[in-house]
Amino acid sequence: MKKTNIQLLITGGTLDKDYNTTSGELVFTETHMNQLLNEANTSLTVESRVLMLKDSLEMTLSDREIIYQACLKTSSQQIIITHGTDTMSETALYLQSKTGLTDKTIILTGAMRPFKLGNSDASFNVASALMAVQLVSPGIYITMNGQIFAANNVQKNRTIGQFESH
């Protein structure tokens, strides 16, 4: 069986934040995806590319266009985007509104707690995205909390800290 190349596009979000012991703030220093994938001991062929390390609340239309262009330009048909959870749904809808992606399977995922702080949902969500990108039909999806959501039927419930259909 031929190994599939999965394109991993990293944009930041809580998943990649770390604790700054001097300031007490959550900050970006580097992506933690290589460590996360190594710990998973995956045999998948995953090509990682850091597009930005940004909190999704600070994401602009230009940032979403960078994500779209990266999805459009990759030769991979299977794409995972790590993203902050606050505006993940907006980016998913933006990608869905664009042309040229209908033959690709694109999964957005993230974490409610930073991977580096432990007790995080990051590993589970990324693993779910890796599985989902291989199984679902082409389209734009969000994978969080063990569920797959269509881009046009998902919202973050801030009260319970989970994603749900709307």
Which CATH fold topology does 5-164 show?
Rossmann fold (3.40.50)
pTM of the model: 0.95
- Which residues are within 8 A (CB) of 23 and not within 5 positions of it... i.e. 6 or more apart? none
Contact 109, 33 (CB under 8 A): no
The whole-number pLDDT of residue 161 equals 87
Q: Can you list the residues of the chain whose pLDDT is less than 50?
A: 1
pLDDT of residue 1: 45
pLDDT tens by residue, 25-65: 999 999 999 999 999 999 999 999 999 999 999 999 999 99
CA distance 30 to 119: 19
